[in-house]
């Protein structure tokens, strides 16, 4: 039964607008709760492993709640319903497994409209309930943590998250270090190779954007981020997308200001096939196994090189005249030049942005809301529709690592796992 609830607190207006909420019944959050983990769960037999992993963590100084959103779309099959019921019964039957500082609750969200049912809506249901509970506690700084139901965590998971947000009080959100487990003997070699390629591509893409000069290059992994409740409310909460909800949500948070990256703890996403969402790790691996997708290909490094030549000119764009703009664009490589010229009203939008900024420093900050991750992705797809081809990931990774000074020629023929290990090391060292 759907209930519209009204509570006093910082999120009162937001909560009142959520007509599809599933508030926990007869559960009042305890004073001292400052971390709430949200886990979407759909037809998931591995949920107990994830919850055991959380139970084995070192205790933080605050109390922790875990909200498992056991969800299913309307007209789900008997097997789905039965597995979801098993998950719910397991939680209720194993309360003693969890230490006193960790409370686990199941939220049943069944018969969701098939049009929107999926991981995004399930994550939103759990995060909205987390906000409701923090609002009841009058705790706008409470931390909502996003995790998945087939994922393990390092033993310092809670402590690292708690310490990060205490140390960086101005951070609205933070991503968390992640590493897919691929060297397990139980994992079929071709599948393991696929997950290495997939994760390496993610890291290549992130670091290529960073090298090109984009300041908000970050990982958007649904099982590896945390956000303050107040920031969640300010930006309108999670979306109901069936996939990619993490990417869209984190991009929406960036304009709020400062954020961080937690590297002292680690999340270990599952390395398995799946058709539960339209895209993401599971579907990509399934396509790899089926021979429908080559995960060893990546965007041509030259496309990022050309992008860098434009982004290096950002300081010149504030109140630039049309003639100066045309002269600047004319000197750029063909791909980025054509993309800008064929973009609708690019100069006009730039001029309007300049007019609304009091000085160049404000412009330089707001420019990245205009030329954001979505724009860059459009650019990359644009130039790869004709000018460039997708190329071997290993070669692109080598070129990038060579540019940032982490490898030399002896790595040119390295296995993908070698490159992945290097990028993982960079991610840990650069953020310490």
What does the pLDDT read at residue 325? 97
Residues 353 and 240 placed together within one structural domain of the fold? no
Cα separation of 296 and 61, whole Å? Answer: 44
Q: Give the residue-averaged pLDDT of 1-5.
A: 39
Residues 108 and 77 placed together within one structural domain of the fold? yes
424: pLDDT strictly greater than 80: yes
What does the pLDDT read at residue 1? 34
120-129 pLDDT, tens digit each = 999 999 999 9
Please answer whether residues 126 and 106 qualify as being in contact, where contact means their C-beta atoms are separated by less than 8 angstroms: no
219: pLDDT strictly greater than 60: yes
pLDDT bin (cut points 50, 70, 90) of residue 407 is low
Those residues with Cβ within 8 angstroms of residue 358's Cβ, 6 or more apart along the chain or in another chain? none
Question: In the β-sheet with 102-112, what is the strand arrangement from edge to edge?
Answer: 102-112, 63-73, 33-41, 143-146, 225-228, 173-178, 260-268, 152-153
Mean pLDDT of the chain: 90
Q: Give the residue-averaged pLDDT of 110-132.
A: 92
What does the pLDDT read at residue 181? 87
pLDDT bin (cut points 50, 70, 90) of residue 7 is very low
How many angstroms from the chain centroid is the CA of residue 69? 18
Those residues with Cβ within 8 angstroms of residue 100's Cβ, 6 or more apart along the chain or in another chain? none
Residues 318 and 371 placed together within one structural domain of the fold? yes
What does the pLDDT read at residue 426? 93
pLDDT bin (cut points 50, 70, 90) of residue 292 is confident
Residues 29 and 173 placed together within one structural domain of the fold? yes
Q: What is the DSSP letter of 23?
A: P
Does residue 382 sit in helix, strand or coil? helix
Q: What is the DSSP letter of 244?
A: -
262-277 pLDDT, tens digit each = 999 999 998 755 555 5
> Looking at residue 98, which CATH number applies to its domain?
3.90.550.10
What does the pLDDT read at residue 115? 86
Domain of residue 110 covers 12-292
Percent of the chain at pLDDT > 90 equals 75
Residues 189 and 311 placed together within one structural domain of the fold? no
Q: Give the residue-averaged pLDDT of 19-42.
A: 86
The pair phi, psi for residue 407, each rounded to 5°, is -140, 165
Find the range with the poorest average confidence among 232-236, 266-270, 411-415: 411-415
Residues 71 and 191 placed together within one structural domain of the fold? yes
What does the pLDDT read at residue 47? 96
Which comes out higher in pLDDT, residue 310 or 192? 310
Q: Give the residue-averaged pLDDT of 206-221.
A: 96
> Considering the domain boundaries, does residue 429 fall inside one?
no
What does the pLDDT read at residue 290? 79
Cα separation of 175 and 220, whole Å? Answer: 8
What does the pLDDT read at residue 2? 39
> Considering the domain boundaries, does residue 431 fall inside one?
no
26: pLDDT strictly greater than 90: no
Find the range with the poorest average confidence among 81-90, 266-275, 278-287: 278-287
Residues 91 and 134 placed together within one structural domain of the fold? yes
Cα separation of 423 and 193, whole Å? Answer: 16
Q: Give the residue-averaged pLDDT of 391-411.
A: 83
> Considering the domain boundaries, does residue 68 fall inside one?
yes
What does the pLDDT read at residue 3? 39
Please answer whether residues 41 and 71 qualify as being in contact, where contact means their C-beta atoms are separated by less than 8 angstroms: yes
What torsion do the CA atoms of 372, 373, 375, 379 make, to the nearest 10 degrees? 140
For residue 198, give the H/E element and its range.
helix 189-212
365: pLDDT strictly greater than 60: yes
pLDDT bin (cut points 50, 70, 90) of residue 117 is confident
pLDDT bin (cut points 50, 70, 90) of residue 6 is very low
* Residue showing tokens 């058709």: 275
Q: Give the residue-averaged pLDDT of 69-95.
A: 95
What does the pLDDT read at residue 378? 97
Q: Give the residue-averaged pLDDT of 216-239.
A: 95
Among the three residues 263, 292, 321, which one is the final residue of a domain in this structure? 292
Residues 189 and 334 placed together within one structural domain of the fold? no
43: pLDDT strictly greater than 70: yes
Find the range with the poorest average confidence among 108-112, 197-201, 412-416: 412-416
Sign of CA dihedral 366, 372, 376, 379: negative
Residues 263 and 374 placed together within one structural domain of the fold? no
432: pLDDT strictly greater than 60: no
Nearest Cα residue to 400 out of 310, 299, 331: 299
Find the range with the poorest average confidence among 202-206, 276-280, 373-377: 276-280
Cα separation of 296 and 288, whole Å? Answer: 10
260: pLDDT strictly greater than 80: yes
Domain total in the chain:
2
> Considering the domain boundaries, does residue 416 fall inside one?
no
Residues 16 and 62 placed together within one structural domain of the fold? yes
What does the pLDDT read at residue 25? 66
Percent of the chain at pLDDT > 70 equals 92
Q: Give the residue-averaged pLDDT of 313-319.
A: 97
Residues 237 and 341 placed together within one structural domain of the fold? no
Cα separation of 79 and 415, whole Å? Answer: 41
302: pLDDT strictly greater than 50: yes
Residues 132 and 230 placed together within one structural domain of the fold? yes
Those residues with Cβ within 8 angstroms of residue 129's Cβ, 6 or more apart along the chain or in another chain? 21, 22, 23, 24, 38, 67, 107
Cα separation of 400 and 148, whole Å? Answer: 31
């Amino acid at each position: 039964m759907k209930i519209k609830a009204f509570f006093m607190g910082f999120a009162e207006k937001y909560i009142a607008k959520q007509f599809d909420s599933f508030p926990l019944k007869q559960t009042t959050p305890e004073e001292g709760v400052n971390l709430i983990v949200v886990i979407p769960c759909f037809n998931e037999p591995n949920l107990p492993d994830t919850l055991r992993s959380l139970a084995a963590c070192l205790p933080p100084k605050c109390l922790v709640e875990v909200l498992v959103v056991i969800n299913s779309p309307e007209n789900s099959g008997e097997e789905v319903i039965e597995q979801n019921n098993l998950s719910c019964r397991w939680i209720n039957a194993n309360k003693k497994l969890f230490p006193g500082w960790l409370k686990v609750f199941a939220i049943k969200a069944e018969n969701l409209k098939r049009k929107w049912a999926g991981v995004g809506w399930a994550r939103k249901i759990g995060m909205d309930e987390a906000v409701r509970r923090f609002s009841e506690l009058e705790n706008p700084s409470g931390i909502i943590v996003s995790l998945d139901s087939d994922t393990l965590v390092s033993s310092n998971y809670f402590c690292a998250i708690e310490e990060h947000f205490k140390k960086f009080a101005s951070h609205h959100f933070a991503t968390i270090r992640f590493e897919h487990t691929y060297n397990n003997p139980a994992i079929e070699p071709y599948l393991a190779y696929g997950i290495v390629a997939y994760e390496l591509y993610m890291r290549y893409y992130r670091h290529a954007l960073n090298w090109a000069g984009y300041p908000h290059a970050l990982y958007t992994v649904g099982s590896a981020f945390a956000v303050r409740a107040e920031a969640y409310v300010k930006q309108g909460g999670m979306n109901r997308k069936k996939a990619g909800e993490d990417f869209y949500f984190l991009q929406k948070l960036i304009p709020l200001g400062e954020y961080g990256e937690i590297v002292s703890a680690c999340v270990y996403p599952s390395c398995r096939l799946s058709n539960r969402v339209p895209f993401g790790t599971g579907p990509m691996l399934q396509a790899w196994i089926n021979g429908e997708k080559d995960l060893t290909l990546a965007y041509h490094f030259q496309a990022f090189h050309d992008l860098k030549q434009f982004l290096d000119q950002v300081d010149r764009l504030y109140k630039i005249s049309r003639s100066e703009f045309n002269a600047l664009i004319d000197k750029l490589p063909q791909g980025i030049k054509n993309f800008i010229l064929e973009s609708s009203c690019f100069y006009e939008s730039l001029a309007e942005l300049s007019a609304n900024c009091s000085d160049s420093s404000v412009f330089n900050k707001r420019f990245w809301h205009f030329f954001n991750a979505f724009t860059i992705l459009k650019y990359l797809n644009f130039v790869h529709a004709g000018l460039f081809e997708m190329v071997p990931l290993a070669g692109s990774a080598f070129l990038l690592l060579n540019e940032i000074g982490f490898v030399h020629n002896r790595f040119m023929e390295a296995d993908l796992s070698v490159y992945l290990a290097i990028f993982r090391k960079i991610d840990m060292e650069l953020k310490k």
